[in-house]
Amino acid sequence: MKNSVRKTTIMKKTPRERRPLLSLLAASACAALLAACAGPVPPDNPGANGGTGGGASDAAGGGAPAAGGTLRIASLQSDLDALDPLTGYSTDSWEIIRALTRQLVTYPGSAKDIKDDTTLVPDLAKSWDVSKDGKTYTFHLRDGIRYSGSSTREIVAGDFVYAIKRFCDPNKQVAAINYFQLAFSGFRDYCEKFAKVPPGDPAKSKAFIDSHDIPGVSAPDDKTLVLRSDTKNYDFLSILSMNFVSPLPEEVAAKYVGDSLEFRKNYPSSGPYQIASYEPGRSLVLKKVPGYDHAGDPARKAYVDEIVVDFTTNSEDAVVQKIQSGDADLSLYLDVPPLSTIQQYQASNSPYLHSSDSGAANFITINARPEATSPGAEALRKLKVRQALAYAVNKANLVQAQGGKIAARPLGQIITSTILGHQDFDPYPTPGNAGDPEKAKQLLAEAGYPNGLKLDAVYRVNAQFETIAVTLKADLARAGIELNLIPVPPAQSSAYLQDPKSRWDVFLSASFAPDWQGPSTRMLLGGWLDSDAAPCGTGNVHAICYDNPELNKLAAKAFPSDDPGPVWAEADRLVSADLPWIPLFEKRKVAITSDRVRNWTWSSLATQADITNIAVGPAR
């Protein structure tokens, strides 16, 4: 079954990746499972980074990695879901886009843990000034940094202005517009006007972009970019670290509609790699930009000369076999390696099994859009029914199905453990996290469903999500909740959930990964769930359509705060008890690599390997 997943829409970055985060339990898991967990923490010689050398004899992950070689990636999917920085919003597309684009600021990667990659460093901006009121940022760009590929001119501040003006192009809207509605002065007005431009004609979009300005986004000269907000935002720089705010040369980008094959083949790269060849279904070859200016890029060491993504391995089994046999070094679109593979790596105490807390989580979303009037959807509007669902779920079983402690831990709240404002609690605890069917039945009876409830349950078809679906079906049946499973191919699931006519009450395969680690609480509590930022309608993630004025007030209080943690914690307690979705478990990211991989690095943004900082050496 192949599928080129497409998760554009406002879907967020998670669909594909999944690996929970186990946080503290990890420590004990690691102890028990040996080395596996901490990941190749620099073994013997903790060398520096440096991009030279030829020996290639460092230990797996430590030492001074040798530059050169080819990093080979086996992709489970037959194509990338996105490559345009405007629309890429999945952890896997972000992994590749990181090699092809640069931003104003970024995260440099961490050898130890995804959640440790929280230090923002200058990227294309060499420095910036913040106004006293905290609302205006003035960025000073580096000199002499050029595009590669379809353009080779120098990157200027106007390229950022153009990229941001593209955000609300009716032909292809930026994937996470909710961040930007609140970020730039005048952005909302600009977008309302842009929405009136008829889609389908790139020339009309170009004319609009050329003739309209966003008051909060300007470039006084080629090296200076000024971004202004109506309010102070403590996470403003973090928002700019996402690939949406990448410079694009208008003379190239304006020629193509959206993320087309033509665009991908004529990609104007601002990163250390450029596209050498691209054949969907076969391979993507990235070559290092000749004479890349390493001094001007503190975040991406770009050790390898070439990155090859192989799109021909379309089963989990085939992907891990390629890695085990040394025909590939990394995987792409593989949420979690098969259990048996993890177990093999653990048993041999392999340094090529990496696992890290990631703050990602899985949950059950509920179809709350007003058009949903099925008996199941109506029932789920009652808090007691949602509580019954929360009590009926057996989280221990789901954690086990994910691979046990190395891979997941039960979750009962919205905010996960690597995110600002997290305070561990579960408003609906059950003994051993194994569910409480009796309590669930009682709540259902009180809500008016003494004979149980039947729900149409959509799930994404792949090995993992099918396991979750059949496990939930078995466990919820004990509480009198019958799930009518409706499988949907991954490539169609976003569209299916977005279509108001689709029939579904619950979506069993919902997941998210933090857009960045640490202060990213805005993504959920100030984004998906905040009806000011994400009103119900097209683009509302998974049709969550949650509307809680109390939460909106708390979010508005948190954004400009100097100490937003406690505010978010309060919001989390409020919303978690109200169950806009049913939390299931938090995932750790688990990855396996070949024995050629050196200098293992996690990326906060991609929530997995940082291919711009990994090196390769001879097989051991």
Partner 1 sequence: MSDLLTAEAYAEEADVRRFPVLRAILAERSARTGLILVGVVVLAALLAPVAAALTGHGPDQQFRSEALAENGLPIGPSAHFLLGADGNGRDVLVRTLYGARISLLVGIPATTLALVAGTAVGLVAGFFPGRTDRLLSLGTDVALSFPFVVTALSLVALNRGGDGEPVVDPVLLVVLVISLFAWTYFARLTRGLVVVLRNRPFVEAALSIGVSRRRLIVREILPNVLPVVAVYWAVQLPVNILAEATLSFLGVGVQAPTASWGNMIAEAQRSSLYQVQPWFLLGPGIAMFVTVLGFNAIGSGIRNVLDPQG
Summarize as ranges the residues that interact with partner 1 (CB under 8 A). Answer: 1, 315-317, 320, 338-344, 397, 400-406, 456, 458, 461-463, 466-467, 469-471, 473-474, 485-489, 496, 501-504
Q: Are 466 and 459 in contact (CB under 8 A)?
A: yes
Name the residue nearer to partner 1 (CB basis): 461 or 556: 461
- Is the alpha carbon torsion for 457, 459, 461, 462 positive or negative? negative
The pair phi, psi for residue 517, each rounded to 5°, is -85, 155
Question: Which distant-in-sequence residues (6+ apart) come within 8 Å of 464 by Cβ?
Answer: 18, 335, 336, 402
Q: Minimum distance from CB of 17 to partner 1 (Å)?
A: 18
Q: What is the nearest approach in angstroms of partner 1 to the Cβ of residue 198?
A: 28
What does the alpha-carbon distance between residue 154 and residue 221 come to, in Å, rounded to a whole number? 13
In the bound complex, what is the minimum distance in angstroms from residue 585's beta carbon to partner 1?
12
Least distance from partner 1 to the Cβ atom of residue 424, Å: 22
Nearest distance in Å: CB 402, partner 1: 7
Task: Give 181's DSSP letter.
Answer: H
Quote the tokens at residue 326. Answer: 């040394």
What amino acid occupies position 101? T
Q: Whole-number minimum distance, CB 509 to partner 1, in Å?
A: 13
Residue 363, phi then psi, degrees to nearest 5: -155, 175
615: which strand partners? Answer: 598
Contact 225, 139 (CB under 8 A): yes
Nearer to partner 1, 257 or 339 (CB): 339
Q: Are 599 and 49 in contact (CB under 8 A)?
A: yes
CB of 343 to partner 1, least distance (A): 6
Distance CA 341, CA 240 (A): 37
We find the least distance from the C-beta atom of residue 403 to partner 1, in angstroms, to be: 5
Parallel, antiparallel or unpaired: strands 330-332 and 70-75: parallel
Question: What is the strand order of the sheet 273-279 is part of?
Answer: 273-279, 283-288, 306-310, 70-75, 330-332
Residue number with CB closer to partner 1 (235 or 586): 586
Nearer to partner 1, 120 or 469 (CB): 469
Query: 1 vs 48, which CB is nearer to partner 1?
Result: 1
Q: Closest separation between CB of residue 313 and partner 1, Å?
A: 13
Q: Which is nearer to partner 1, 34 or 339 (CB)?
A: 339
Under a CB-based contact definition with an 8 Å cutoff, are residues 602 and 114 in contact?
A: yes
| Shorter beta-carbon distance to partner 1: residue 68 or 338 | 338
| Residue among 181 and 321 whose Cβ is closer to partner 1 | 321
Q: CB–CB of 61/600 below 8 Å?
A: yes
CB 512 within 8 A of CB 523: yes
**Shortest reach from residue 521's CB to partner 1, in Å:** 31
- For residue 381, count other CB atoms closer than 10 A to its CB: 11
Question: Kind and range of the H or E element at 441?
Answer: helix 437-446
For 474-580, where are the E strands, in sequence order?
A: 481-488, 506-512
Q: How far is the CB of 222 from partner 1 (least distance, A)?
A: 52
Side-chain half-sphere exposure of 188, counting CA atoms within 13 A: 11
Instruction: Report in angstroms how near the CB of residue 337 gets to partner 1 at its nearest.
Output: 8
Tokens of 16: 């594909």
d(CA 433, CA 444): 20
Separation between Cα atoms, residue 108 and residue 104, nearest integer Å? 13
Query: Measured from the CB atom, is 282 or 503 closer to partner 1?
Result: 503
Using the minimum distance from each CB to partner 1, give the nearer residue, 302 or 483: 483
Identity of the residue, 183 or 508, whose beta carbon is nearer to partner 1 in the bound complex: 508
Please say which residue, 401 or 567, places its beta carbon nearer to partner 1. 401
Q: Who contacts 474 (Cβ-Cβ below 8 Å, separation ≥6)? A: none
Angle ∠(347,349,354) on CA atoms, nearest 5: 110
Pairing type for strands 148-149 and 597-598 reads unpaired
